[in-house]
Chain A
């Protein structure tokens, strides 16, 4: 298995993975390999975390579970992300959308999509599970403008009021054929990588914010930032 760096030069140079933290009771192995990952300053992440604080604040110790802000992470499980978010007292729901994103099976029927999502999310929709923040990462680049509304419609039962979302939209003409992995390095920085699978690049949908907003209604784009590395960060918001 080999990781493929993003083709475009990263904005901020490279960053080295930190070794996993250790604790007194359990020995946590150090990283087997030190890998340099491209990264960028993420104003979208900063804004998304700020929205969490604004809407859910930092929960008190006595906060009952349903009142704590929920982060729904649609990307792969990344320990650093869980650590960064859950250690704030926020609930983190990791629900990797490894459904056939680009195939017909994904967008065929909304009803089927709902059940697929329920399976992916591991629980039926309920107010208790309403997320305050949805991390789409780059998943939006693997759905066309007809399929995106299906995804949003399927997610709606899980949405709270308000719900913010972070989407990383590809702006270059081509993109990796598979979604990438994004790691929260700190409040302002994301590192990222894509896996090579022999089918290196596909045409990028290059959703424009207006198109994205239309496809993802009732979410609306409240801010976006275009980065030199071919990523446009979009912060979306949905109010009831």
Chain B
């Protein structure tokens, strides 16, 4: 006869939950432990700054800032006329000069920049003042870019009028643009 399968073994008893103990992380975030130099609001400097620590500028700088692997922040009272080379750059004050970052440039709402920005990622907060060119130089980042989302045609514009080019497929019958004006 058929051999009856043995009954499955009972599951081992579940161990009672042990209380969850939060332990301090072995390596706190690098950012929090980073040293940051501060140029106070009453200080002004002409020349070149280079080094290996983050920098907060609340004063004035005229020249060049080069902190390749670190962050540079132009504080709300900071005013610089300089080219800045850094890993990340945040602007809350005024900058006249070109900014180069290997990671990101962020112009905050209060920021005012007149110069060119080059970084893999550039963020301009609404309300900031900026004049200049923007280039997102990141071969790797560009490969990962996705197309801009296409909007669903929720509503169609008023009868479009194409003067020379053919009207889009979903557009209504072409009409003279001037004729549609009242």
Write the residues of chain A forming the contact surface with B, with a CB cutoff of 8 angstroms: 11-13, 17, 20-21, 23, 25-26, 28-29, 31, 40-41, 43, 46-47, 49, 61, 65, 68, 70, 77-79, 82-84, 86-89, 91-96, 120, 122, 171, 184-189, 206, 208-210, 220-228, 232, 235
With known contacts A28-B123, A208-B178, A65–B131 Cβ distance under 8 A: no
Which of A21, A46, A94, A228 lies in contact with B130, CB distance below 8 A?
Answer: A94
Cβ B122 vs Cβ A86 within 8 A: yes
Which of B139, B148, B154 lies in contact with A187, CB distance below 8 A?
Answer: B148
B143 interfacial contact with A, CB 8 Å: yes
In angstroms, Cα B80 to Cα A145, docked, is: 41
Cβ A79 vs Cβ B154 within 8 A: no
Stretch at the interface among B14-22, B42-50, B161-169: B161-169
Chosen A-B contacts, 10 in total, with CB atoms closer than 8 Å, are A25-B31, A29-B125, A41-B153, A79-B123, A79-B128, A87-B142, A189-B151, A223-B167, A224-B163, A226-B157
User: What residues on B are CB-neighbors of A91 within 8 Å?
Assistant: 133-135
Cβ A13 vs Cβ B154 within 8 A: yes
Write the residues of chain B forming the contact surface with A, with a CB cutoff of 8 angstroms: 31, 71, 87-88, 90, 103-104, 106-107, 114-115, 121-126, 128-136, 139, 141-143, 145, 147-151, 153-165, 167-168, 171, 177-178, 180-181
With known contacts A13-B154, A41-B154, A95-B131, A226–B159 Cβ distance under 8 A: yes
Cβ B149 vs Cβ A41 within 8 A: no
Which of B126, B135, B161 lies in contact with A224, CB distance below 8 A?
Answer: B161
Extra contacts besides A26-B71, A209-B178, A228-B158 (19): CB < 8 Å: A40-B157, A41-B156, A43-B168, A61-B139, A79-B126, A83-B123, A86-B136, A91-B135, A92-B133, A94-B134, A120-B131, A186-B150, A188-B151, A188-B153, A208-B181, A210-B178, A225-B157, A226-B157, A226-B158
Q: Which 7 A-B pairs have the closest CB atoms?
A: A79-B124, A61-B139, A77-B130, A223-B165, A225-B160, A188-B151, A227-B157
User: What residues on B are CB-neighbors of A88 within 8 Å?
Assistant: 145
Cβ B131 vs Cβ A122 within 8 A: yes
Cβ B150 vs Cβ A187 within 8 A: yes
Cβ B148 vs Cβ A84 within 8 A: yes
Q: Which of B123, B133, B171, B180 has the largest count of A CB atoms less than 10 A from its CB? A: B133
